Structure formats: structure tokens, C-alpha cells
Structure 1
Amino acid sequence: MPKVSSKRQITLPVDQCRLAGIEPGDEYECFVDNDGHITIIKKVSGAARGILKGVDPDTRVSEDASRQSSINA
């Protein structure tokens, strides 16, 4: 079972990395919900390109608050 190192680093098991398509050097986003569950999402360049085309942003909500609300939903 993987453990958290003294530097708070976590090693992901190889089989999980293969399933998620995560390779050494990949970038990721990490989120924590109110129950303490951690979600790791591999960043993919251009993955959202054009998805929000024509949508006006709501500047009253920060990016971080928006991400958290989607996790807590």
C-alpha cells in the first residue's frame, strides 16, 4: 500500500497511472472535497478548446470557487 512520504509526496501505483494515462512529467490538477477525498486529474493541452466559445464568464466567481463547487456537487 502506498504511503505519504515525510515530504508529503505520494507515489501513484503503476497500474493506476496506466489506467489514467499518466506518464512521468505530465501535469495535473488536484482537488480536495469537503469530506477530504482527493481527486487528481491529468491536464491535457487543448482538451477544452472551444467548449466555452460564446459563453460570457461570471467574474463574481473565482476560478478556485468554481472548481470547488463542481467537486462538491
Structure 2
Amino acid sequence: MDLSQKSQANIEYMIEAIKNKLRMASGAAMQSSAFSVEQYEDLHDIYEMVMNKPSLSISEVEAIASELGRLRSS
């Protein structure tokens, strides 16, 4: 997938990948439609960081979930 293009489809792809990697129990609460293309760079940065880590600590997962919540509500 070409994530260099800002699109809602790429946002959906990244959100799904992040949710899968974090094994988020509340994944249904994080819909890709809640994020706009204006937040693309921030989402892409989070996506890259999550995908490049072999594992995440509980505190990292909480921090990522918090940041995604902040982006979603802005």
C-alpha cells in the first residue's frame, strides 16, 4: 500500500493495522472515519512507530491509545 498519499483509505488501513498490532479490545470504538486527512501526518507517524516495534509495553499502548483519542476528538 502506498501510504505517501493522503487519503481516507490509507487512514483506514493505518488505523486497522494499529488496532491489530495493539490488540485493542476497544478497537470497535476507534473508527477510521473519525480521523480526517488533516491528521494524516500524525497518524502516519504513529503507524510507523507502532509497526517498527517488535512489541509494545502496556504503558506504550496506553500512550498510543491516548494520542489516537486526542487526534480523533480534535
Q: TM-score, normalized by length of structure 1?
A: 0.25
Q: Which has the higher strand share?
A: 1
Greater relative contact order, per chain length (Cα 8 Å cut-off, separation 6+): 2
**Higher-Rg member (1/2):** 1
Q: TM-score, normalized by length of structure 2?
A: 0.24
Q: Which has the higher helix share?
A: 2
